[in-house]
Amino acid sequence: MTFRPLAADELTEAIAKAALDAILIIDDEDRLVYANPAFEAMLGHDPATLYGERIHDRIAPERYRAAFRQGMRHFREHGEGPVVGTMTELEALHQHGHEIAVELSISRLALHGRWYAVGVLRDITERKQAEDELKRARDQFQSLTENIPGLSYHCQFDEHWTALYVSEGTELVTGYPAEEFIHNSVRTLQSLVHPDDTGYVADRINTSVAQKRGWDIDYRILHRDGKVRWVHEKGRAIFEHDGSVAYLDGFVHDITRRRRQAAFQEIVATISVDIVDAPLEETDDAIHRAMERIGRFFEADRTYIFEFLEDGRLMDNTHEWCAQGVIPQASRISEVPLEAYSWCTEKIHRQEPVHVPDVEALPPEAANELAEFRAQSIQSLLMLPLATDGRVFGFYGLDVVRTTYHWDDEEINLLQVVAEIFATTLARRQAEQTRKAQARLQAMVAEISAEMVNLGGEGLDSAIDRALERTGLFFGADRSYVFHFDDHDTTMSNTNEWCGEGVTPHRETLQSIPVDSHKGVTEPILQGETVHLPDITVLPEGLTERAELERQGVQSLLCLPLFIEQRPYGFLGYDMVARRRKWTDAQITVLKLIAEIIAGAFARLDSEMALRRSEMKHRILFEATSDAVMLLDETGFLDCNQSTLKMFGCASREEFIDKHPAELSPPVQPCGTDSHSLADEHIRTAMDQGSHLFEWQHRRVNSEIFAAEVLLTAMNMEDRQLLQAVVRDISERKRAQEELKRQRDHLDRLSSIDGLTSVANRRRFDEALEQTWKQTVRSGNSLGLLMLDIDHFKRYNDHYGHLAGDDVLKAVAEAISGALPRTTDLVARYGGEEFVCILPATDLDGAHKVAERIRAAVRSLAIPHETTGTGRVTVSIGATALRQPTPEMSGPLELLKTADQALYRAKEQGRDRVVTMSSQNP
């Protein structure tokens, strides 16, 4: 059949051209016979190029073409089809390949004996987009209301606030299913309000509706579990055109935790101030007050602190508070072995909380703990590790004995804050106690050394007995003693012994004991090794020395070798009878020094005895002691022993003789005086006074410098006044003393650093401000001070959590430190989110510039803060400076007050800014 396009009269053509919808006519062979201009505008096809073509192959997407072909066959055969006379939404294919949403209506036309299909296409892209957007908005609203942790409502403004809609979050807030409130089917929204708050809530809502504004209120509700909860409600009324109330919309969320957290933070602040301000001797009282506050806040029956003893094997209940009617336990829990409660203490050492909501549900491996908890009537408990610098030294705990309790994660985090305060306080006290103990220890070692050096043989036994008593008491041993080997190392005898109160002495029964019968102890001693047995049961059963130690009631043992001239002389020993003990490396190091001092004293005693037996007294003395011994006069050395040659690295006496002491010394001594002049001065002093003890730096032949203790003793030999010099290498002692000093300095430094941010703490700031103030008064310079506060930090913690808040504090502290221009400037954490900076020799303009640098540095961190207008973490800064303070001024307090006022104004003016105020000291 020959194809020709369908002709139209002028009126029809005009109507088709004017139509905004695309119009096309298809014959019964599915060929396009007519299309109006809107068709080309909509789909991009020139109709003239499509006439006679199968139109569905050009404008229908592939997924529709089979249906089109089937429909056209039916239309050709019957002149009708299932879509004729209907409106269908589908997609049409544009000339450029993309799809357009259209609405298609089809009608039929009989003309010249043939059937034609007339299609009208309307572009519905914008309408579909609007519908999709509406659906997305509706879905988002549904998702928001159903997933936010709170109660969303839509209710009538009537007596019961009849609910038309409540979200699924209702059950989280109230404990009741949402459907129970719809149309008051089971209960009403109004019935949830605590009776004491009903009038207040109704008045606030009615007043807000009358004033056509929203309400924002906190009040209490009665939860399904019978407990009172605090909620925050924010809502508004929706009005009709005539001004009447159509309904109420609002949102309610549980703020019980927030209010409880705020109350707890106040307690923590009070505790922190109380403990920090307390003198060290009053720390225990401050801790007990804190434990009582925390115990009452969490309704615990008992709170307590256990501290691990220095050997790490035992623990003591050092602090305890009990509620009324609860039996205290501290008196019965003393020096408890950690291994007896390994299930708990292993968790504590891993710095994990021990949370036991029900002690009866403890695992089998916690059988010891279960027995003890039952003995104390404990039903639930929580233990938190006490740790500083990664070292765990105890734990803080709460017991519940009259009911059971499950602490949630938030409560555990809050209590961890208290544990950190306790840990910091106890660590500070331990550091101070350690410092004082180290000072006493150094003094004791020095006194024992001086007494041993200056003694003759007649008083040595008494001096050793005193040394045993002093060291035994200082280190808490139960028994201390000295054993001496015979000349052939075949037998040994207990020559000196001290026993603590109530401990049985054994010296009389420990004489001429075969050395071989106690090889477990004597073999290491003979090799110069220390024997340390924290638990003697590690010795094999049936061993002679184990049986002997058990007979003496010994539980732990420490023995240190005594050597003279590289030959074993005996050993110094310490026993623990009342309990087991593991000696620390630092303690063993100090006792090695004591052993060396005692060995030296025995060496001198042996030398003196040998001198009495020999006409060559000085030669025997020289060779019998492990110390370097030499004879000298004003000009130099006359003689020396083998220990001297070994000490100085000389191959022979000839290499040593005739040298002045300065020739075997560095040019200058540590005091700054040249060695030659100072040596002559020491020689004259010894000649005048008879003896002279001092420390000196010597130099070996290989140029190695070493510290020495020198005793010069005047003596007459063949009518000639000479000096005997006893030189002891004290390098090891010096290193031990330096290590003790380093540890003390480290502890002092830690006590002045904020544990979280690593900048100076409040204590360090107070000291530095007072010191800088005095220096400024003397120099006549200016003194600047900045006070900073992280803006809306509480919101940040509430929104992101305390761990993220801690990270912000660290980052801001680092930014402040990096922005300070000089090493003399000091940044300190003043408290919470507040920091202060001391700026020596800085006027008001300089303080303002530094403050702006800090503010910019914090902003540049770009830490997100969604709850603020800036969208990031910022700081407000108060800056002040005082010019040329004078001694008549009272101190830096006015400077602090002015900086605080400036900070207040910076917050008042919108935050994220610097406000500068000049300081005037009265």
Please give the C-alpha separations between residue 21 and each of 24, 48, 105, 742, in angstroms, as whole numbers.
Answer: 10, 18, 11, 92
Cβ contacts of residue 127 below 8 Å, gap of 6+? 101
- For 683-703, letters b (16+ CB in 10 Å) and e give beebbeeeebbeebebbeeee
**Token match 């940040």: residue?**
796
Q: How far apart are CA 197 and CA 202, in angstroms?
A: 9
What length does the chain have? 922
Q: Interior CA angle at 102 toward 98 and 103, to 5°?
A: 165
Tokens of 106: 């089809």
- List the beta bridge partners of residue 526: none
Number of neighbouring beta carbons within 10 Å of residue 470? 17
Question: With contact defined as beta carbons under 8 Å apart, do 808 and 861 qualify?
Answer: no
CA dihedral sign, ordered 125, 129, 135, 138: negative
Q: What whole-number distance in Å separates Cα of residue 625 and Cα of residue 631? A: 14
Contacts of 263 (CB under 8 A, 6+ apart): 297
User: What's 872's DSSP letter?
Assistant: B
The sign of the CA dihedral 11, 14, 20, 26 is positive
Query: How many C-alpha atoms does 9 have within 13 Å on its Cβ side?
Result: 2
Q: Could you confirm whether 833 is annotated as catalytic?
A: yes
CA distances from 908 to 903, 914, 918 (A): 9, 11, 18
Q: Other CB atoms closer than 10 Å to residue 669's CB: what's the count? A: 17
**8 Å CB contact between 691 and 711:** yes
Q: Which residue bears the tokens 């001429």?
A: 512
Q: What sign does the dihedral 634-640-643-648 (CA atoms) show? A: positive
Structure tokens of 98? 């993309």
Contact 531, 522 (CB under 8 A): no
Residues 167 and 151 sit within 8 Å (Cβ to Cβ): yes
Catalytic residue, chosen from 372, 451, 709, 833, is 833
CB 879 within 8 A of CB 914: yes
Token readout for 53 is: 């073509």
Beta bridge partners of 807: none
Residues 576 and 477: beta-carbon distance below 8 Å: yes
Task: Identify the CA nearest to 166 among candidates 243, 88, 100, 252.
Answer: 252
**Residue 415 contacts residue 384 (beta carbons within 8 Å):** yes
What is the spatial distance between Cα 846 and Cα 839, in angstroms, rounded to a whole number? 9
> What are the helix (H) ranges across 213-282?
256-277
Question: Both tokens of residue 469?
Answer: 């008593």
Coil, strand or helix: which one is 840?
strand
Q: Give the residue numbers annotated as catalytic, written as ranges.
A: 833
